[in-house]
Structure 1
Amino acid sequence: MGRLSHLLLLSVLCLFIQSISCEYVLIRENMTWDEAQVYCRQYHFDLVTVQNYEDWTNVQKAVQPALTSAVWIGLYNNISSWRWSYQNEDISFYSWSESQPNNGNGQEECGLISSIGWNDRDCSTEYPFICFKENETEADRFAFVNVSRTWHEAQSNCRQHYTDLAVIHNQTENQVLTLKMSMEGISDSWIGLFRDSWKWSDEINVVGMSSINWMTGQPDLRNLNQPCGVIRPDGLIDDQLCSNTFPFICKTLEVPAETVGRPYDELMEVPAELVGRPYDELKTKKQIVRFEMKSGQNVNDPAVMETILQSIQQKLTDLAVHNDTTVTWRVQPDGNVFTPKHEDEEKQNVCSHHSRCV
């Protein structure tokens, strides 16, 4: 049980640890992106995530020798992840115009308000914008800035001089804004609406579009199609309809023997953006961990699973992981937690022990 607990801990901390190696698994069966994600999470860890040129090179080495078509990777773009700039607040009230949001140019990730409703637009487009002031009366809550800026410039301005870009919670507030816009002679204004751009299946944000080795002219999917990413035999990345079917690449995690039993603080590297920040300012993070175990018992027995879970939780406590960390099982579609490992898969270990595996 000791090795099992260490494996789980190191996986939870894999965003900060540089010594975990990974194994890429090419699955030849054609599946949709969603089906491939379920398969990888059930039998391995997740669809493959790559964050830099070295990772791209390693993935290419893993798949190119046997690759004859494009294959799914963990890249996807969720056009339904709309929320407010202020505290990343979820949206509880919607007032989209007809046929909106439509991701019209394939890059519409910010929202504006007009006389006929909300619309999604390219964040780099310049519009006037509306800020809001917290703890003000309804009459003084919103501030109109009739200077055209990009969405991110508008966000920065609002946060500097007010609270944030406007948040709209109900139809009354929506009508107040549209009426004031009409009185000001403004047709379109940025508000605090935005959504995620490209992400990885394990919910890690893409470092930057330049880090992805896109084909020329890609990504180019339009309208309401949710795009997902494939890697082609030439190593270039293309976007495809998630409902299309392709082979796919899963990733697994391996912990080198020399790291087992070492204090986790010897293995951690704190990212620069977290240095000096209070713990209570850090967002809650969910990490999905996959591990293997051998046992003569029925590991899907509730009593056995509870014993394993308690042991893992105790190990986290012993290693001074914050006490608000919780560990739960992920239940598979068949109702089980553990699934017998399939051996009929091609495997190739292409990560060095000093590669970053996320």
Structure 2
Amino acid sequence: MMGILQFISAASLLCTASGFPKRHFHYVNEPKTWKEAQSHCREKYLDLAVITSLEDVTTLNNMVEVLNVAWIGLYDDVNSWRWSYSDPNFYQGGEAEFRNWLHGEPNNMEGNEPCGAMWATGEWIDVSCEISMKTVCSDVEGRNASFIFINQTMSWAGAQSLCREHHTDLASVRSTSELEQIKELLQSVGEDQAWIGLYRNSWTWVDGSSFSFNHWASSEPAGPEENCAAAALDDGGRWQDWPCSSSMPFFCYEGPVFKQLVKVKLVKSSSLDLKDAAVLEDLLKKFEQKLKDSGVEGDVKLSWKEQSEGEIFLREE
């Protein structure tokens, strides 16, 4: 991990020197759907409002005299299903999009089902990632995969960590053939259901920033088809989930955006797979947090830049 720590230190010095201004919010009293509101904000300002603190909540509340609800830039990305094992070479010809949902699934019950599980009958369901169940891991060699049943109940995140530590990852299902293999495996051990590696983004800000500040109203989010968030100004600005097709006023934000390209040299640890999207995403989160801890104010958003060869990291000869 020494290379990672060296990179964090170098990036902090470069980015802190440039500085980042605070956001400015704008209230638009024109009833629009969530998508229409976002289009307006992107045309006139930067995007729908991203709220990161109680200070932001107070600012929005003080901008409006008539108490109502207004869109903000938070949404539930219900169509972003993907596999935990992300190596693109493992999937060919649409295999990453293979699905076998049970009829009526995914249904996002109570607005909180971003993880996938499989019945022993072969059908898939979406469930809360926090419930406990047993899991199916995979060992991958090239394009070949074998499946292992883990006779231990845990959350989806716990299952992912265990599979990555002792095997390759949670099981991906690329075809009817692999579906049958896992189905037979579950039936052979007498298990009704188990985690597989399917998951999606849950509530996400429009700028992709981490969902660390939480200001949901009591019992929210709650609706399976209420996938966009609004600030209830008659409830202290607390958030509610609404159907995205509802019409209401909205908050936009703007602020100067500074981009800086930082080239780094990373000493690769043998435990890191730098082609794993989850590893890369985790690294970015650590770097962003380090910058904030170092005193960088305002929005900090890092992203990887692909080289001309399509790779992020190039090995030195």
Shared fold by TM > 0.5? yes
Aligned with 1:130: secondary structure?
Answer: strand
Give, in angstroms, the shift of residue 43 of structure 1: 1.5
Match of residue 122 from structure 1: 128
Give the match's secondary structure for 1:243.
coil
Aligned ranges for residues 1-358 of structure 1 at < 5 Å?
18-61=19-62, 63-64=63-64, 66-87=65-86, 91-114=96-119, 115-135=121-141, 141-207=146-212, 211-222=213-224, 225-233=225-233, 234-254=236-256, 282=280, 324=307
How far is 1:186 from its partner?
Answer: 1.2
Distance 1:323 1:110, change over 3 A: closer
The offset of 1:202, in angstroms, is 2.1
Q: Which amino acid aligns with 1:231?
A: A
Work out whether residues 75 and 203 of structure 2, in 8 Å CA contact, stay in contact via their aligned partners in 1: yes
Q: Aligned partners of 1:103, 1:80: CA distance in 2, in Å?
A: 11
Superposed displacement of residue 87, structure 1: 2.4
| Cα 1:322/1:117, change in 2 over 3 Å | closer
User: What SS class does the counterpart of residue 205 from structure 1 fall into?
Assistant: coil
Q: Residues of 1 paired with 2:17 and 2:307: CA distance?
A: 19
Residue 147 of structure 1: CA displacement? 1.5
> What residue identity is the alignment partner of 1:69?
N
Cα pair distance change 1:84/1:16, threshold 3 Å: farther
> Secondary structure of the residue that 1:169 maps to in structure 2?
coil
Give the structure with higher Rg (CA).
Answer: 1
Could you give the per-residue CA deviations for residues 290-317 of structure 1, whole angstroms, max 9, x where no partner exists? xxxxxxxxxxxxxxxxxxxxxxxxxxxx
Work out the CA distance in 1 between the residues paired with 2:199 and 2:17. Answer: 28
TM-score normalised over the length of structure 2: 0.72
C-alpha change, 1:88 and 1:31, in structure 2 (3 Å) is farther
Aligned to 1:4: none
CA drift at 1:171: 0.9
Structure 1 pair 144–323 and aligned structure 2 pair: CA distance change class (3 A): closer
Change (3 A) 1:21 1:137: closer
The residue aligned with 1:296 is: none
Structure 2 counterpart of 1:170, one-letter code: S
Distance in 2 between residues matched to 1:230 and 1:277, nearest whole Å: 44
The 1:26/1:17 distance shift into structure 2, 3 A limit, reads farther
| Closer, same or farther: CA 129–275 of 1 in aligned 2, 3 Å | farther
The alignment covers a number of residue pairs equal to: 257
Matched residues in 2 for 1:129 and 1:159: separation? Answer: 12
Change (3 A) 1:277 1:150: farther
Q: Deviations over 1:168-227 (max 9, x none)?
A: 1111101111012111111101000111111012232312xxx221111111112xx141
When normalised by structure 1's length, the TM-score is 0.64
Contact 1:37 1:201 in 2 (8 A): no
Offset at 1:149? 1.2
| Paired residues of 2:108 and 2:126 also in contact (CA < 8 A) | yes
Q: CA distance change for structure 1 residues 200 and 121 in 2, over 3 Å: closer, same or farther? A: same
Letter aligned with residue 81 of structure 2: W
Q: Say which SS state the counterpart of residue 109 (structure 2) adopts.
A: coil
Residue 239 of structure 1 deviates from its aligned partner by 1.1
Letter paired with 1:49: V
Q: Which amino acid aligns with 1:217?
A: S
Instruction: Quote the RMSD (CA, aligned, Å).
Output: 3.4
Please state how far the C-alpha of 1:58 moved relative to its aligned partner. Answer: 2.7
Amino acid at match of 1:53: L
Cα distance in structure 1, aligned partners of 2:59 and 2:87: 35
Asked if the contact 2:226–2:241 (Cα under 8 Å) also holds between the matched residues in 1, the reply is no
**Runs of 4 or more consecutive aligned structure 1 residues displaced over 6 Å after TM superposition:** 13-17, 274-281
